[in-house]
Amino acid sequence: MSGPEQLADWRRAAVELAGWAVRTIAAGDPDPARSETKVNAGDWVTPFDRAVERHVRAELLARFPDHTVVGEEYGADGGPTDPSVTWYLDPIDGTTNFVHGVPWVAFSLAGADRHGAAVGVVADVYRGEVFSAVRGGGAFLDGRPVRCAAGASIAGGILLTEWSRQDAWPGMYDYLPRISARHGATRIMGSCALALATVGAGRAAGAVLPGHYNAWDVMAGVLIAREAGAAVRDRRGDHDGVPLDGVLVAPGAVADELWHAWVDPVPAEPAPAAT
């Protein structure tokens, strides 16, 4: 397993690159007319996404030549075929928000060794905040330790989720009224990475992301939430890694309630009485 000095070095590099990315993205002036779409008309990519990924990829491979990078825009391009560490990079998580000037946009970067996620950063571009975590070493916001909230219920709290691309995820329209019936407030903001990191910082009671996403969307955020004290679950229950087919993060007292709201089957409607 990677040692503390290695982890600290990787975290320093990730935090430095996150700071550079925040400055670069925040200074950008995105224009829908100069941007493109990928999977569908709502799946935006801008010149800033590509420029940030190219720079971060080049910096990581120059500093750690035995590592490789998997990014949203350029895939697994560069680095050795059997790397000791793989970096998962989303240069702009929330590109649709970025294109339209909505200030909920993140940079996300996580390094994983053979034992799983080891370091991660999520930067809130327009707040200029950098969340980070080291496996076994805690979670931080701008270098200060953070913990997830200590609430005993979802009542009165903010619960974050995201669309599956632009669609509702299976069961979403059953889940939402279950949360509102418990007096929780659901928010859909447009960045998986920031949703997860926000739980780690104690600003949201929990997050459930059952829709489509990739490792670069969630790996850093899951590590931050876990190191801040949150439970991590998938559809089947507790998970000791980074679930890639649906993930829940919440403090222990809330996790059970939130998980049941997500996975419990909807009771069947009673059959009409015979006439």
**pLDDT tens by residue, 29-45:** 887 767 666 666 566 78
Residue 54 covered by a domain: yes
Residue 186 covered by a domain: yes
* CATH at 16: 3.30.540.10
Q: Are residues 115 and 248 in the same domain?
A: no
Q: At 211, which amino acid appears?
A: G
Q: What are the distances in angstroms from CA 160 to CA 58, 114, 252?
A: 33, 30, 16
Say how many C-beta atoms besides its own lie within 10 A of residue 44's C-beta.
20
* CATH at 235: 3.40.190.80
Q: Are residues 105 and 187 in the same domain?
A: no
Give the pLDDT of residue 234.
98
Strands 206-209 and 247-250: what pairing? Answer: antiparallel
Residue 132 covered by a domain: yes
> 78 lies in which domain range?
4-145
Residue 27 covered by a domain: yes
How many residues are present in the chain?
Answer: 275
Angle CA 228–231–233, to nearest 5: 135
**pLDDT tens by residue, 66-104:** 999 999 999 997 778 789 999 999 999 999 999 999 999
Interatomic CA distance for residues 118 and 231, integer angstroms: 17
**pLDDT tens by residue, 147-174:** 999 888 999 999 999 999 889 999 999 9
**pLDDT tens by residue, 188-206:** 999 999 999 999 999 999 9
Give the pLDDT of residue 36.
67
Q: Are residues 27 and 121 in the same domain?
A: yes
Give the pLDDT of residue 81.
79
Mark which of 118, 145, 172 sits at the end of a domain.
145
Terminal Cα distance for the chain, rounded? 69
H or E stretch covering 118: strand 116-124
Q: What is the rounded average pLDDT of the residues 6-11? A: 96
Residue 92 covered by a domain: yes
Q: Are residues 8 and 106 in the same domain?
A: yes
Interatomic CA distance for residues 93 and 138, integer angstroms: 23
Residue 150 covered by a domain: no
Q: Are residues 239 and 176 in the same domain?
A: yes
Residue 43 covered by a domain: yes
